[in-house]
Amino acid sequence: MTKSIRVVARIIAYPEKVEELKAVFLELIEPTRQENGCIKYELLQNQSDPTEFTFVEEWASHEALDAHLASAHIQTAVAKLKDLVASDVDIRRYSLLA
């Protein structure tokens, strides 16, 4: 049995670009949730620091996650990030232990 993959992706917006980045991210939610292998895809915004966004994701397999990362809607969003994010995107993959 293949174990699901958990992903936590943290992105920091330039303060003056928060709303623009949020709009880009919100466009990803529905198409991503329709992808094969997507179990959970949530977007969070830090209450004490609105420049910080975090995606919490669960994928059925590494292949499903890789297909997601190669999808047209993700590639379009990535192309828009250059002028919106203040630092490198921090993407971490996890395995559930218990």
- What digits encode the pLDDT tens for the residues 37-90? 999 999 999 999 999 999 999 999 999 999 999 999 999 999 999 899 999 999
Confidence band (pLDDT; 50, 70, 90) for 2?
low
Confidence band (pLDDT; 50, 70, 90) for 1?
low
5-94 CATH choice from 3.40.50.1370, 3.30.360.10, 3.30.70.100, 3.40.1190.20:
3.30.70.100
DSSP the chain: -PPPEEEEEEEEB-GGGHHHHHHHHHHHHHHHHTSTTEEEEEEEE-SS-TTEEEEEEEES-HHHHHHHHHSHHHHHHHHHHTTTBSS--EEEEE----
Domain ranges of the chain: 5-94
